[in-house]
Amino acid sequence: MAETRRKLTTIFSADVQDYSRLMRADEEGTLATLKRYRDAMTRLIEAHGGRVINTWGDGLIADFPSVVEALRAAIDAQSELAGYNAKSADGAPMLFRIGINLGDVITEDDDIYGDGVNVAARLQASAPAGGIVISNTVYDQVRNKVAVGFEFLGQLEVKNIDGGVPSYAVRIGATDDAASTGAADGAASGSDVQGEWGRSAERPSPPTIAPVEAAAKPMSLIVKLLGALAVIGAGLVALNLLSWRGVFWAAWPLLGLAVVAALEWVRANGKIDRVIGALAIAGLALVAINLLSWRGVFWAVWPLLAIAVAAGIRWVTRQRDSARR
């Protein structure tokens, strides 16, 4: 029986965009092109110190001891394949998507398994045709070592990963990522991806972050939304004052607007657990309702206790899950 070990490695996952369509159009030609392109990619992977673990259909998975060399291999591969496509006589380019993740994986024989592999596959599925998407663990290692730009795509939802995985698009040809790393922030969602490597033949579901231009909601939109809510709130206050009848009724719609704004901010902020954030907002809203309808009794203490218990359970569960991973 093969011994099972764990190791920290850089996982490189690649596949062909619209491979089924290409096969329907020309099976033999597509297969010949796939073999030629994948041979070129394999050569570049090995040149950068990586090893190809396996291939499935139109896909390829490899690992690297160096995060920087993994990204350099991906850049070289996309550049070389772009040259092949430019010289293609049939006018049907074959474009690869590449995802790279640094994670702790299980090794058995020559295969690797675990969430680290699944994250790389999900990043690959979210990449645009001919593009590269990396996780935050990769970005932290390469940001000042490779002469490319990066664009933050927000949180990429991945099965079994609470809160998602912060992801970045690699901008080949750009040399300054300072302005782009904070350009976008939001939730990037997608359906569950393929199972652990070697345990499922199911292909990743269609990406929901296709081109980088269609990435997660930019923070500027969040700011605009909050600004619109503030303008609505100011209008309600002005209306209340202009039609004053001794009651400040605008307090209630203002509370509703504040709750909406707070929930939207929590949803867009990848550093805050959404469940705990929503519970905190609910608690503050209950306190505000209690005070606005004050009758001499602070009844909100009881639902606040229940919310605190729920938040505590959520926090303990997250810590336990993180320890297991």
- Of the three residues 149, 180, 214, the one that is the final residue of a domain is 214
> Are 153 and 249 members of one domain?
no
Domains held by the chain: number? 2
Amino acid identity, position 318: R
> What is the distance between the alpha carbons of residues 232 and 222, in angstroms, rounded to a whole number?
15
Residues 38 and 140 in one domain: yes
Q: What's the confidence (pLDDT) of residue 163?
A: 75
Same domain, 208 and 224: no
Do 160 and 284 share a domain, yes or no?
no
In this structure, are 26 and 132 located in the same domain? Answer: yes
Q: What is the CATH number of the domain that holds 189?
A: 3.30.70.1230
Please tell me whether residues 268 and 157 are part of one structural domain.
no
d(CA 15, CA 205): 12
Q: What is the pLDDT of residue 311?
A: 85
User: CA angle 271-272-274, nearest 5°?
Assistant: 130
CB 134 within 8 A of CB 212: no
Q: In the chain, what's the furthest Cα-to-Cα distance?
A: 83
169 and 237 fall within a common domain: no
Last residue of a domain, one of 186, 214, 242: 214
pLDDT at 167: 93
CA 100, 104, 108, 114 torsion-angle sign: negative
Res 22 pLDDT > 70: yes
Residues 135 and 243 in one domain: no
**pLDDT tens track for 206-264:** 444 434 443 344 455 667 777 888 889 899 999 999 999 888 888 999 999 888 888 88
Is the same domain home to 195 and 275? no
DSSP state of 187: E
What range does the domain containing 209 cover?
5-214
Both 245 and 208 in one domain: the answer is no
Examine the domain organization and report whether 75 and 205 are in the same domain. yes
Answer whether residue 302 shows pLDDT above 80.
yes
Q: What is the pLDDT of residue 140?
A: 94
**pLDDT tens digits, residue range 178-222?**
434 444 443 333 333 333 333 333 344 444 443 444 334 445 566
**Residue that terminates a domain, selected from 214, 229, 261:** 214
Contact of 125 with 45, CB cutoff 8 Å: no
192, 47: one domain = yes
pLDDT tens for residues 66-83? 999 999 999 999 999 999
| Predicted structure pTM score | 0.55
- Cβ burial, residue 83 (10 Å; 0-12/13-18/19+): exposed
Measured between alpha carbons, how far is 123 from 103 in angstroms, rounded to an integer?
13
- The tens digit of pLDDT for each residue in 105-162 reads 999 888 899 989 999 999 999 999 999 999 999 999 998 899 899 999 988 887 777 7
